[in-house]
Amino acid sequence: MKIINRLLYLLLMSITPAKKKYFWCELFYKVKFGRNVNIIGFPRWASEAYLITIGNDVTITHHVVFHTHDGGVRVFRNNFPGINVYGKITIGNNVFIGSDTIIMPNVSIGNNVVIGSGSVVSRSIPDNVVAVGIPARAVKSIKEYRENCLKKGMILPPDLSRKEKEEFIKQELN
């Protein structure tokens, strides 16, 4: 991408709300998005981002990296000029991808999935699981995760100011 386009992309992403950032990713990188996709921060899209398909109700957080090619084949180019290996990435519906996750080529992430921060997704992840680690693997069902969240979590009243939210959380944790 030309430097001007890259700067324009970064500027537009920095001033656009999370629920609307997908528009710039589609325009500049040709990523295919479903409905209600939230992009928090700046993901790194592969040079072949047109190989990425993202479903409905997906959240992509800070510094998620999408790789659609195997750059390591460069070591074979003296013997096999022009060799390249590409793979699609498919993200299902109702998926949360934690910060600093790396998603490798030829991977599908199922529906109703949470990918933990810092994971490396190098093989496909089935539906209805929480997957974490290097390489990412399913560690619990989404049902178990929901039950744990309901036990440990708190439900904040709607429309709290930042200060009210801070006070509410501090009070709940004491």
Indicate which residues carry an active-site annotation.
Answer: 63
Scan for tokens 């959380």, then name that residue.
169
Give 12: exposed, middle or buried? Use CB within 10 Å, 0-12, 13-18, 19+: middle
Q: Mind giving me the DSSP string for 61-122? A: -TT-EE--B-GGGGGGTTTSTT---B--EEE-SSEEE-TT-EE-SSEEE-SSEEE-TT-EE-
Q: How far apart are CA 86 and CA 45, in angstroms?
A: 14
DSSP element (H, E) containing 12: helix 3-15
Backbone angles phi, psi at 133, to 5 degrees: 105, 180
